[in-house]
Amino acid sequence: MKAVITVTGKDTVGIIAEVAGVCAKHSVNILDITQSVLDEYFAMIMLTEIDKLNVGFAEFANELSELGRSKNLDIHAMHEDIFNTMHHI
Amino acid sequence: MINTKDILETIQMIREENLDIRTITMGISLWDCVSDDPGRLCNNIYEKLTRKAERLVSVGKDIETKYGIPIVNKRISVTPISLVGGKSSPEDYLKIAKTLQKASDELGVNFIGGFSALVQKGMTEGAKNLISIIPEALTETRNLCSSVNVASTKAGINMDAIALMGKTIKRAAYLTKDDNSIACAKLVVFANAPEDNPFMAGAFCGVGEPDAVINVGVSGPGVVASAVKRAGNCDLSELADVIKKTAFKITRVGQLVASEAAKELGVPFGIVDLSLAPTPAVGDSVAHVLEEMGLERCGCHGTTAALAMLNDAVKKGGVMASSHVGGLSGAFIPVSEDAGMIAAAECGVLTLEKLEAMTAVCSVGLDMIAIPGDTSEEVIDGIIADEISIGVVNTKTTAVRVIPAYGKKAGDRVEFGGLLGYAPVMPVKTESPARLIARGGRIPAPIHSLKN
């Protein structure tokens, strides 16, 4: 199973490291990262594998949102199924 | 493989265009709660609801987090209470209403629907008793919703029941006069009421439904409006395709959430109601979709045509996205819950007559419309009879949810708050249809050949 983590907000040092830290803590493997910075605006999409996730998905997603709030960023983890069902028949 | 464009599109829909799941509604059958003792009946109902729906709210929240999509309401619909209440007295029906409220409080759901009666052909004593106590039931509870089906294409129109509903609506408005006659916002009069509708105030769990069932209502007028805007000046065939594709995506999310909720709760999946349900929030308006399609203002000439196309395209796109479609399915046009409708009504372009015409081509009917508080019972009966006739003759669901706002006159404003929004009080014709209504009886079922 995969999850997509999206991060948007003002660019600061160490955003990827922070998010990757939470992933590592919960045994979430990062498969791919796409990021862009436009006029100080940071947008990152991270594709992760959550088969070995050591907490409930809701808890993992909440921890990332919490991290986002503390850094003034918008961070969301969403299960891949929502993208698959919406965009693939 | 998921690509970046798809991810960004989904996220934009959710964060900026107000895509949400409007409701997960658990239908719960109360047939096995029936008892000849009113106290035991209430206990059975409370016990069954709190057992069956115990995890509804928590499962809803988990799904919200998992997929990152808001699920605005978690609701319950029950078997029409007049069917399980049997010979109960009006006072007993009031006790049942309070029991439903108590269960709703315990479970933390937003609304509970089904304080209902099906009287399209005639009324049982139970149905009469239930209808007689609707105003008190809706005044003394907060989350309870009530509906009465007064007509069907097969049975015709029960005018005696309509006459009763005008009276009931007026009394409900009076009893909640200090609260903007809010009780009327929780009461719907139906023709051809669907048995699996997840939307309030008209939801109930129909007689052919299983013991428990999950029905999901999607939303997304904001997403459709943005897609129409992006499509630019294309012709209407292309525009219909754009709407279909958007409706498909929206409904797929509904299907995903519905099957996940059904699996988690161990309850069968019923239907997805593929509706465009607006909210008063900016950018979540069906009227704005119509205006984006090319109308200067919703309600002007051309509105019915635009709405007919929108409604049809939403259905065509949505049907393929879900394994089972049902409920009301289509575009909703509640006035107070739609910022664009409110604006169009306030400037006088959108009138009651135009709204009535629009209901011939979309789902539901005259919905969340505030009318002057001194409107007579018979005029309300006439409004109901007109709207119900459209549904009966066209073999579709129509409904009336009007609020004769106590003490208010045309041009005033009524605030309901939350998802119910606010409404400008719209003028009605005051000439009386009293003689027609007083005739009573039934309007026979319409013929279905010789169509013209």
Query: The domain spanning residue B243 has which CATH number?
Result: 3.20.70.20
Same domain, B180 and B280: no
Q: What backbone phi and psi angles, to 5 degrees, belong to B334?
A: -70, 130
Confidence check: pLDDT of A38 > 80:
no
Lowest-pLDDT range of B40-44, B93-97, B184-188, B280-284: B280-284
Spatial strand order of the sheet with A29-38 comes to A29-38, A41-49, A2-10, A73-79
Residue A26's pLDDT band (boundaries 50, 70, 90)? very high
Total domains, chain B = 2
DSSP state of B325: B
Label residues B175-206 b or e (16+ Cβ within 10 Å = b).
bbeeebbbbbbbbbbbbbbbbbbbbbbbbbbb
Q: Is residue B29 part of a domain?
A: yes
CB distance A76–B66 less than 8 Å? no
Q: Are residues B181 and B287 in the same domain?
A: no
Q: How many residues does chain A have?
A: 89
Give the helix/strand (H/E) hosting B28: strand B21-28
B135 lies in the same domain as B230? no
Whether B376 maps to a domain, the answer reads yes
- Report the alpha-carbon distance of residue B370 to residue B416 in Å, rounded: 10
Domain identity same for B241 and B180: no
Query: Which residue of chain B has the CA closest to A34?
Result: B4
> B380: closest CA among B429, B444, B443, B441?
B429
Domain that holds residue B40: 25-191
Assess A4–B contact: CB distance below 8 Å, yes or no: yes
Contact of A40 with A11, CB cutoff 8 Å: yes
Q: Letter for the amino acid at A79?
A: H
Q: Average pLDDT, stretch B45-68? A: 95
Kindly state whether residue B383 falls inside one of the protein's structural domains. Answer: yes
A78 touches chain B (CB under 8 A): yes
Shared domain check, B183 and B265: no
Report yes or no on B148 lying in a domain. yes
Question: Measured between beta carbons, which residues in chain B are less than 8 angstroms from residue A34?
Answer: 4
Tokens linked to B275: 């509706």
Q: What is the CATH number of the domain that holds A14?
A: 3.30.70.260
The C-alpha of A2 sits at a distance from chain B's nearest C-alpha, in angstroms, of: 10
Residues 6+ apart with CB under 8 A from A89: none
Is there a single domain that holds both residue B236 and residue B292? yes
What are the two backbone dihedrals, phi and then psi, of residue B450, each rounded to the nearest 5 degrees? 50, 40
Q: Is A17 helix (H, G, I), strand (E, B) or coil?
A: helix
Interface residue B69 vs chain A (CB under 8 A): yes
**pLDDT tens digits along B83-135:** 999 889 999 999 999 999 999 999 999 999 999 999 999 999 999 999 999 99
B317 and B184 both lie in a single domain = no
Q: Which domain holds residue A54?
A: 2-87
How would residue A89 be classed by pLDDT, with cut points 50, 70 and 90? Answer: confident
Q: Are B407 and B325 within one domain?
A: yes
| Best residue in B3, B6, B11 for a mutation probing chain A (most A CBs within 10 Å) | B11
Listing DSSP states for B196-262 in one string gives T--SSSS----TTS-SEEEEEEE--HHHHHHHHHHH-S--HHHHHHHHHHHHHHHHHHHHHHHHHHH
Reported as a single tens digit per residue, the pLDDT across B332-376 is 999 999 999 999 999 999 999 999 999 999 988 999 999 999 999
Residue A61 contacts B where some CB pair is shorter than 8 Å: yes
A-chain residues within 8 Å CB-CB of B216? none
- Examine the pLDDT at A39 and tell me if it is beyond 80: no
**Residue B162's pLDDT is what?**
98
Burial code of B118-134, b = ≥16 C-beta within 10 A, e = fewer?
A: bbbbebbebbbbbbbbb
| Residue at B450 is within a domain | no
CB of B381 closer than 8 Å to CB of B432? no
In a domain, B165, yes or no: yes
My answer on whether B298 and B169 are in the same domain is: no
Q: Say how many CA atoms lie within 13 Å of B294 toward its Cβ.
A: 15
- Whether the per-residue pLDDT at B452 is higher than 80: the answer is no
| Cα–Cα dist B339/B284, whole Å | 8
The encoded tokens of residue B215 equal: 């029905």
- Residue B201, preceding peptide bond in cis (omega within 30° of 0): yes
Residue-level pLDDT at B1: 65
CA–CA gap between residue B286 and residue B295 (Å, rounded): 12
What is the per-residue pLDDT for B18?
85
Cβ under 8 Å to B: A residues 15-54 = 34, 45, 47
A82 and B9: CB-CB below 8 Å?
no
pLDDT for position B448 = 86
Note whether B278 and B424 are same-domain residues: yes
Query: Which is nearest to B82 in space by CA: B25, B26, B120, B139?
Result: B120
Domains held by chain A: number = 1
**Are residues B184 and B230 both part of a single domain?**
no
The pTM of the full predicted model, rounded to 2 decimals, is 0.92
Q: Compute the average pLDDT of residues B275-304.
A: 94
Pairwise CB contact (< 8 Å): A76 & B252? no
Specify whether the CB–CB gap between A80 and A50 falls below 8 A: no
Instruction: Give the A:B interface size as CB pairs under 8 Å.
Output: 60
Cβ contact B158:B122 at 8 Å: yes
| Cβ atoms B332, B201 nearer than 8 A | no
The answer to whether position B166 is within a domain reads yes
ipTM above 0.90, yes or no: no
Any CB–CB contact under 8 A between B236 and chain A? no
Nearest to B65 among A62, A74, A80 (CB): A62
The three-state DSSP-derived secondary structure of B308-323 is HHHHHHHHHHHHHHCC
Q: Which of B191, B226, B259 is the last residue of a domain?
A: B191
H or E element: which one contains B146?
A: strand B144-152
What is the percent of chain B where pLDDT is above 70?
A: 100
Rounded Cα distance between B57 and A22, Å, is: 28
Convert B144-156 to b/e letters by CB count within 10 Å (16 or more is b).
Answer: bbbbbbbbbbebb
Q: Is residue B141 part of a domain?
A: yes
What is the CB-side half-sphere exposure of residue B228 using CA atoms within 13 A?
Answer: 30
Residue in B365, B360, B359, B372 with CA at minimum distance from that of residue B423: B372
Instruction: Give percent above pLDDT 90 in chain B.
Output: 88
